[in-house]
Structure 1
Amino acid sequence: MAETYVSGVAGRYATALFELARDAGAVDAVKADLARFTALIAESDDLKRLVRSPVFTSEEQERAIAALLDKAGIGGLAGNFFKTVAANRRLFTVEAIIRGFDALVAAYKGEVVAEVTVAQPLSEAHAATLKEALDALTGKDVKLAVEVDPSLLGGLKVKIGSKLVDASLKTKLNSIRHAMKEVR
């Protein structure tokens, strides 16, 4: 496995959780629990507010997270992790921690993740075609992480590691606009 580093506070938490999960042989179980928690955040404005707002005390965050984890059936390493993060007043970093954990798992499993941003949701056929092209380009099994951003107008952006290919209509229009300004 190539060394993968995630930085900052979120990186330290992600690395610690990954090492615990790896040593316990529970990487996939923890990844699934983190994905469930991410889905809960996406579904609930109240949970987003709890996670991101500094207004709540650590005790309030701990109680709310414990109740949520019980209701969602998230326990074990992931459950203890969320409780520790809340107790340490670091809940605002939980989304970055989960992204860091996912990056560490991908590196551990030899996967490459392509962050794809599109203006409209991709059809299954387009996603499969894009995946095949990226697999051929990298020579590895590429996992697509697709995000929809209507502000792109059309086209897509693909980021693999530190490389970014921006083929969005928004960027092309901005380039034309800048070129026209220079002509004047």
Structure 2
Amino acid sequence: MKSNVETAEIAQPYAQALFSVAQSKNLTEEFGSDARDLLDLLKNSDQLRNLIDNPFIQAETKKAVISQILGGDSANPYLRNFLLLLVDRRRIFFLDQILQQYLVLLRQLNQTVLAEVTSAVPLSPEQQQAIQQKVIAITQARQVELETKVDSDLIGGVIIKVGSQVIDASLRGQLRRLSLRLSN
């Protein structure tokens, strides 16, 4: 079982190394896009997650699957070699955390903040744009990257989390606050 502290200690240097390579080759945005795609793939594919997490699967098998996922020789050779190195070093198990940390470094470079938005229903593009503008006004960031989730338990409204700051504009939150006031 992975602890958060151990994971961060292992993932951070690898993410920084990948970021250094990306910067030196002027590929930070391309690697960022690839990192997001790989994270989506890991999130949506239990088979891939099991392959990466299983220590009994041979390294060569993992390398073959990674090469196949990246499209063989058409993929960026630096990223492919980095992932193969993770397999060799038995660190592919931390791929998710390494990619997440890479995206943190990329956001810092671009002065972008991540806003985690939980809503009762899927947000329209106009609503997403309005939330982005509100977050830019609050944080003074250049750009905002939205990570949206739907939680029907909210009844209505949204919860926006930016770093450690949480803005609860959901009906569930308003009802909870009203209940606390009435009970006092």
**What is the TM-score normalised by the length of structure 1?**
0.78
Contact 1:111 1:141 in 2 (8 A): yes
The alpha-carbon deviation at position 51 of structure 1 amounts to 2.6
Which range is displaced more, 118-127 or 35-44? Answer: 35-44
The alpha-carbon deviation at position 21 of structure 1 amounts to 1.0
1:35-79 Cα shifts (integer Å, max 9, x gaps) = 232233344332122233344233332222123223594232211
Distance 1:175 1:78 in 2: 48
Counterparts in 2 of 1:135 and 1:94: CA distance versus 1, 3 Å? same
Contact 1:116 1:144 in 2 (8 A): no
Identity fraction in percent: 27
The alpha-carbon deviation at position 144 of structure 1 amounts to 2.9
**Which of these residues, 141, 162, 165, is aligned with residue 163 of structure 1?**
165
1:72-113 Cα shifts (integer Å, max 9, x gaps) = 942322111111112222223212211111110111122222
Which structure 2 segments of 5+ residues have no match?
1-6
Q: Which residue number corresponds to residue 128 of structure 1?
A: 129
SS of equivalent to 1:25: coil
Distance 2:173 2:94 in 1: 30
Instruction: Give, as a single letter, the amino acid of the residue that structure 1 aligns with 2:34.
Output: D
Residue 104 of structure 1 pairs with residue 99 of structure 2: no
Q: Which residue number corresponds to residue 49 of structure 1?
A: 50
SS of equivalent to 2:144: strand
Residue 39 of structure 1 pairs with residue 35 of structure 2: no
Q: Which residue number corresponds to residue 28 of structure 2?
A: 27
Counterparts in 2 of 1:155 and 1:50: CA distance versus 1, 3 Å? farther
SS of equivalent to 2:122: coil
Contact 1:152 1:169 in 2 (8 A): no
Instruction: Give, as a single letter, the amino acid of the residue that structure 2 aligns with 1:124.
Output: P
Q: Which residue number corresponds to residue 10 of structure 2?
A: 9
Distance 2:164 2:45 in 1: 32
Contact 2:51 2:62 in 1 (8 A): yes
Instruction: Give, as a single letter, the amino acid of the residue that structure 2 aligns with 1:155.
Output: G
Distance 1:57 1:174 in 2: 52
Which range is displaced more, 98-107 or 78-87? Answer: 78-87
Q: CA RMSD in A?
A: 2.8
Distance 1:35 1:131 in 2: 19
Which range is displaced more, 42-51 or 107-116? Answer: 42-51
The alpha-carbon deviation at position 23 of structure 1 amounts to 1.8
Counterparts in 2 of 1:108 and 1:64: CA distance versus 1, 3 Å? same
Q: Which residue number corresponds to residue 3 of structure 1?
A: none
Counterparts in 2 of 1:71 and 1:62: CA distance versus 1, 3 Å? closer
Instruction: Give, as a single letter, the amino acid of the residue that structure 1 aligns with 2:132.
Output: K
